[in-house]
Amino acid sequence: MDKHQHPWADCVFVDGRFQPPLDGGRSDIRDKSTDEVFATAGDASAADVDAAAASAVTAQRDWAARGHGERAAVLRRVAAALESATGLVELIMRETGCVAGKAEYEISAAVDELTEAAALASRPVGEVLRTSHPGRSSVCERVPVGLVAVITPWNFPLVLGMRVIAPALALGNAVLLKPSPETPGSGGLAIAELFARAGAPAGILQVLPGGERVGRRLVEHPDVAMVHFTGSTTVGREIARTAGSLLKRTSLELGGNNALLVLDDADVDQAAMIGAWSSFHYQGQTCISAGRHIVDRRVAEAYLRNLTDRAAAITVGDPLRQRTGLGPIINDAQLARARRLLDEAVAGGARVLTGGTNDGRFFRPTVVVDVDPASALWTEEIFAPIAPVAVVDGAEQAVALANDTRYGLVCSVLGADVHRAAAVAERLTCAMVHVNDATPQDEALAPFGGIGDSGLGGRAGGDANLDEFTERRWRTVTGTPVHYPY
């Protein structure tokens, strides 16, 4: 593949144009399976961030003043451009090391985000308030926040960008997007290409690829009114500190250590299938992967056998060149972390039932039992295809173990008696919970987010986006003369 084939090769996207960064910085984009450099992106400088922010301030005023129908039409055209885009599946596969199904999912989910955001643009917003002042009208209206900095991770670069960009734009904001350095294409520049093709007004979306330096500059930039961050809890904490000291609005979508509870009446075959998908899907590299399987003793033996068989049957390899279930771990640092978590747990007494090995970044799906609940494998987010399983006696123990975490993203409860399973689900401390389905779930209309170490500040999806991307403004209009004492 010619690495200069993309219109965005070596570029940033500022003021509606692909252009080289002002200091000429660039970075390679590697195929995660082969390490081949298959494309290049610009590496934004501080001067690019400043230029993008200046252009976005003007563009945002004009964009917010346009009719909602016009904003919706732009988003629908971007959705159409996305549906007809060529080469995007391959770009996502190579940048993220995923199978075709995951890349196709990202595209269809991003289309959903755009479609729902287009509908959001015309939603009635605001309230007519009662007032004790005769002759006054009093309303609460929703106004755009202004410039939203959107900082995204590498795992689902297209959809995690679009689920923020689309509603933020629909509601009259402008966006400065910084994708992960692992995925500057599908997480940023390819999105800019869609907006350019759809004839979106210049400046409403600016894309600034780069690393921490660009991220920090965005968070600190005086023109940025809001920071929307999706990524690790560690970086989220730093952003919260900086944005807090600057009194900036923040929304943080962070990591998870999600529990899958298998109750004593669960259908073991179904449960193991759901468990395997929850832990191994996209190499376990999602914030909503199951990092803890909590299984009732009555079904534990059968569950472990079934889950182990399923894990052992999954193929691992380069998804672009062979039919495979799983691709590689994203990079060597993440691989080393996964190895350390597993090796330390094994040194502490854990037993690997299947997997536990890796060929370079290709990591075998792993089932592990007897994990010390104080070990990092049990308490931390894993981000690799590893399923630690704990055996408990009864629902009380299951709930207590599931809630014993600082994270609070998602849980699943599996059981044949649906009402009992739903009652168990009610007792779990997390922002999202699913009965009889896998932990990885996301829909454009559902409020996605986390509590505790998993998130702060808001939810993405459906009506939650109105709160997320608008400020409430109280407006009164008085038509009769008023009198004050002096």
Residues annotated catalytic, as ranges: 253, 287
| Rounded Cα distance, 55 and 279, in Å | 43
Q: Which of 175, 321, 149 is nearest to 252 (CA)?
A: 149
Residue 154 as a binder of ligand NAD (CB under 6 A): the answer is yes
Residue 153 as a binder of ligand NAD (CB under 6 A): the answer is yes
Residue 415 as a binder of ligand NAD (CB under 6 A): the answer is no
Whether the Cβ atoms of residue 461 and residue 447 lie closer than 8 Å to each other: yes
Residue 381 as a binder of ligand NAD (CB under 6 A): the answer is yes
Compare residues 74 and 287 and give the one whose CB is closer to ligand NAD: 287
Compare residues 239 and 307 and give the one whose CB is closer to ligand NAD: 239
CA distances from 312 to 64, 362, 367, 433 (A): 54, 14, 9, 28
Residue 450 as a binder of ligand NAD (CB under 6 A): the answer is yes
Compare residues 107 and 254 and give the one whose CB is closer to ligand NAD: 254
Cβ of residue 95: shortest distance to ligand NAD, in angstroms? 12
CA distances from 470 to 171, 238, 465 (A): 7, 24, 8
CA distances from 345 to 290, 371, 401, 406 (A): 17, 6, 18, 19
Q: Which residues contact 146 (CB under 8 A, 6 or more apart)?
A: 60, 173, 174, 223, 225, 226
Q: Which of 34, 138, 232, 397 binds ligand NAD (CB under 6 A)?
A: 232
Q: Which of 152, 257, 279, 465 binds ligand NAD (CB under 6 A)?
A: 152
Residue 43 as a binder of ligand NAD (CB under 6 A): the answer is no
**Residue 243: strand pairing partners:** none
Compare residues 63 and 156 and give the one whose CB is closer to ligand NAD: 156
Compare residues 215 and 415 and give the one whose CB is closer to ligand NAD: 215
**Per-residue x/- mask for ligand NAD, residues 452 to 481, rule CB under 6 A?**
---x--------------------------
Tokens, residue 65: 């003043």
| Rounded Cα distance, 79 and 82, in Å | 5
Total residues at the site for ligand NAD (CB under 6 A)? 28
> Using CA atoms in the order 249, 225, 469, 473, what is the torsion angle rounded to 10 degrees?
90
Cβ of residue 232: shortest distance to ligand NAD, in angstroms? 3
Tokens, residue 174: 């402008």
Compare residues 48 and 381 and give the one whose CB is closer to ligand NAD: 381
Whether the Cβ atoms of residue 378 and residue 371 lie closer than 8 Å to each other: yes
Cβ of residue 290: shortest distance to ligand NAD, in angstroms? 13
For ligand NAD, the binding residues in 191-230 under the rule CB under 6 A are 211-212, 215-216, 219, 230
Q: Which residue is nearest to ligand NAD (CB)?
A: 215
Residue 151 as a binder of ligand NAD (CB under 6 A): the answer is yes
Q: What angle do CA 63, 64, 67 make, to 5 degrees?
A: 85
Cβ of residue 181: shortest distance to ligand NAD, in angstroms? 6
State the distance between the two ends of the chain, measured CA to CA, in whole angstroms.
77
The residues binding ligand NAD (CB under 6 A) are 151-155, 160, 178, 180-181, 211-212, 215-216, 219, 230-232, 235, 238-239, 253-256, 287, 381, 450, 455
